[in-house]
Every structure is written in structure tokens, then in C-alpha cells.
Amino acid sequence: MPNFHSQLKALRRGITNALRSPRFYTSQIGFGKVFKAFRGLRGYHPDMFSYRHAFHAGNHADVIKHLTLIATLQHLQQKEGGITIVDTHAGAGLYRLDGDYSETGGEAQDGIFKLLSQLDETAAQKDAKPIPEALQAYLDMIGSFNPNGQAKFYPGSPFILHAMLRKDARDKLRLFELHPTDSKALASNVAQLDAGRSIMIAREDGFESLKKMLPPPPSATGSKRAMVLMDPSYEIKSDYGKVAANIQDCLKRFATGTYLVWYPIIPRPEAHDLPKRLRTLSNQAQKPWINLTLSIGRNTDGTTAGLAASGMFVVNAPFTLKDKLREAMEVVGPALARGTGHSWAVEHS
Ligand code: SAM
């Protein structure tokens, strides 16, 4: 990897250029067609229709989600045995930061773009500290999708996870995406990876299909290992209950799996309860957990439009994770802080 500070500078230059580039987003089909495609699809609820991750790619929630995901998997991969990795709500896999969708919400401005520009400023200071390990790994990952130093692409969880698969250990990636357009985009994006049988994609309900993935098949070393990312859009109220019920079920089916849940922090009783329920479930199963939260605070004009806070809950969290996340958040938290009310925390069992 080249010196990261110079790479950051290049990426920052690229941000301006990227945002000037022609609007484009891959694999979109007309809404009329999408609507027809939804009819008769099991597990589909009309409210899902309003959520498209491309609007949100690279936002502050993606930053903490993907940073935690990478740090967790890196730890698990210190052991030899192959891992079955399940992404129950995969999205489209790869996003253009200069595309129509991302520009509409411009959410990457309060996420990856802001992080890069803040780091760039800090790096220019004389007493600049080295970038913490987990943050560096996240930045390296984003950088690897933007080799020209132009921040044009943002990898979603499927592409991040694919980039981390170990061939020799035969890690496997299982992706579920129910939205017809996103599952189509995901399939065509993944097809370009030439990943063979290491990746499986299904247009199925991730909550339901997770059940058949656990316990995972034994790896070449005979051990059974699994990591699951559960990242629903929570457009439907029932998603909160499904996440908790799934985690409970997962712990019965495969108690030693590592389970990561992203959740929004919004004024809604179900959202408020979810991390508490996850904590209770983990404690009852006597499994170590970590709960990372980030609130970027109000807009500078005092409004709170858009998502301002979210969390990542990790069940069976690796023991080194809390310190790694804390170190990273000491940089990420202040870098992404907006107006009043910003905070971050790493709680653990
Ligand atoms: N995990 C992705 C990432 O980090 O790049 C982002 C996923 S996005 C937050 C949630 C996705 O879940 C959306 O693309 C949505 O279409 C999909 N989805 C919603 N309900 C689903 C379900 N029951 N099963 C599978 N996918 C679902």
C-alpha cells in the first residue's frame, strides 16, 4: 500500500472530481418494471420498495458498519479454519459515489467523504498520530476500490467480504437480497468478480434463509465456523422483532457463530428496544458482546433531518475487538461529528 497520507490527499482531490462526473448508476431498471417484479414475491412487503441502499452508500452508518465488519473478520481469519460468511441483507454490492442515487441524498458527504477530508487535515498537522489499525484497514479497503485515488466507488458488504475471502482456507460467502432491482444489480456486479463457487447469491428472504445456513458445514480442518451480518433496512416495523428472533434462533442452531447486527438509533420503541434485547439474549447465552454506537449530532442549522445515529451489535465478539473499535472511534467519532448532540460509545459485556 502506498503511504496512506498521500493516498488520502489523492482521494480527497478525487472527491471533488467524482462529484462533477456524469450521473450514472449501474443496473437500474424502470420503477414500473420493478413494481411488476414484486408481485407474488414471497417475503416482500410494499414498504421495502422505498429503501434503496444506493441513496445511503458511504454514509456514517456504513462507516461504522463496515469498519466493525472488517475488524471482526480479520480477527476470525487469524485461525486457519474456513468460515461460512452470511450476509442476510446484501444490497447491490457496489455503489458509485457519483451516481444519481448517492447524489440525491448526498449521504456520503456526512460519511466517507467527511472522514477522508478530516483525516487529510489531521495528517497535515505536525504532531499527527498514526491511523488506528481498524480504521486503517477500513480505509485500505475503500482505497482498494479506488486505485486511481478518485473516491468514485463505495463497496457494500458483499464486495468487502468478497475481497477478504481466503482461497486457501476456502472461506465461503452466502448473499441474500430480496429487492428485485438490487438482487439483479448484485448478481451482475458479482458476476464480474469471477468468484466461482465461493459466492452464492439468492433472491430470498435473508431472515428465513439464514436458518438453512446454520450450523455451517465443516471446513477443511474439520471445524465449523460462521460469521453473519444482519443488516436490514428496518423500513418495516417487524424487522426489529425478526432480528431479535433470528439471533435467538442462531444462538440455538450455532452457539459459537459470530453475529453482527446493524440498527438505526431513532425515536421508535422497537428501535430503542433492539440493542437491549440483543444484550439480554447474549447474556442469557453467556456470549461476549460489543455494542458500538455513533451519533453525528444535529445538522449545523440545528435540524435533525436524516439518520443521525446508528449502532453495531456483535454477539460472540472477538476479545480484541473492543479496544480496536475504541481506538478507531477516537478518530472517527470527532471526524464525523456534525452539530450538537454528537457522541460515540463502545460498550461490552
Ligand atoms: N448490507 C449492505 C451493505 O452493507 O452494503 C446494505 C444492505 S441495505 C441496508 C438492506 C438491504 O436489504 C436492501 O437492499 C433491501 O432491499 C434488502 N432487504 C430488505 N428486506 C429483506 C429480506 N427480508 N431479505 C433479504 N433482503 C432484504
- State the pLDDT confidence band at 102, using cuts at 50, 70 and 90: low
What's the average model confidence in pLDDT over 12-29?
32
Q: Is the model more confident about 120 or about 133?
A: 133
> Residue 126's Cα: distance from chain center in Å?
33
pLDDT at 48: 43
For the chain, the domain total comes to 1
For residue 73 the three cell numbers come to 473478520
Question: Which residue minimizes the CA distance to atom 1 of ligand 1?
Answer: 90
pLDDT at 51: 58
- State the pLDDT confidence band at 99, using cuts at 50, 70 and 90: low
Separation of alpha carbons 135 and 124, rounded Å: 18
What's the average model confidence in pLDDT over 251-279?
97
| C-beta 208 within 6 A of ligand 1 | no
- State the pLDDT confidence band at 139, using cuts at 50, 70 and 90: very high
Q: Is the model more confident about 7 or about 277?
A: 277
pLDDT at 149: 82
What's the average model confidence in pLDDT over 204-215?
97
Indicate if the pLDDT at residue 86 is higher than 60.
yes
What's the average model confidence in pLDDT over 187-215?
94
Q: Which of 140, 231, 301, 323 is catalytic?
A: 231
Question: Which residue minimizes the CA distance to atom 12 of ligand 1?
Answer: 89
Contact 83, 227 (CB under 8 A): yes
What's the average model confidence in pLDDT over 75-79?
96
What's the average model confidence in pLDDT over 264-288?
97
Q: Among 9-18, 127-136, 206-215, whose mean pLDDT is lowest? A: 9-18
pLDDT at 15: 39
pLDDT at 9: 52
| C-beta 207 within 6 A of ligand 1 | yes
pLDDT tens readout for residues 111-132: 999 999 999 888 888 888 899 9
Q: Among 76-90, 157-171, 290-304, 324-338, whose mean pLDDT is lowest? A: 290-304
* Among candidate residues 329, 304, 323, 293, the one with its CA nearest the CA of residue 115: 329
Indicate if the pLDDT at residue 39 is higher than 60.
no
What letters, b where the CB count within 10 A reaches 16 and e where it falls short, cover 260-288?
A: bbbbbbeeeebbeebbebbbebbeebebb
CA–centroid distance, 336 to ligand 1, in Å, is 24
Q: Which domain holds residue 230?
A: 4-348
Indicate if the pLDDT at residue 212 is higher than 80.
yes
| C-beta 179 within 6 A of ligand 1 | yes
Q: What is the CATH number of the domain that holds 142?
A: 3.40.50.150
pLDDT tens readout for residues 301-333: 767 678 999 999 999 999 999 999 999 999 999
What's the average model confidence in pLDDT over 166-190?
94
pLDDT at 29: 22
Candidate of 85, 88, 177, 227 to mutate for ligand 1, largest count of ligand atoms within 8 Å of Cβ: 177
Separation of alpha carbons 330 and 156, rounded Å: 24
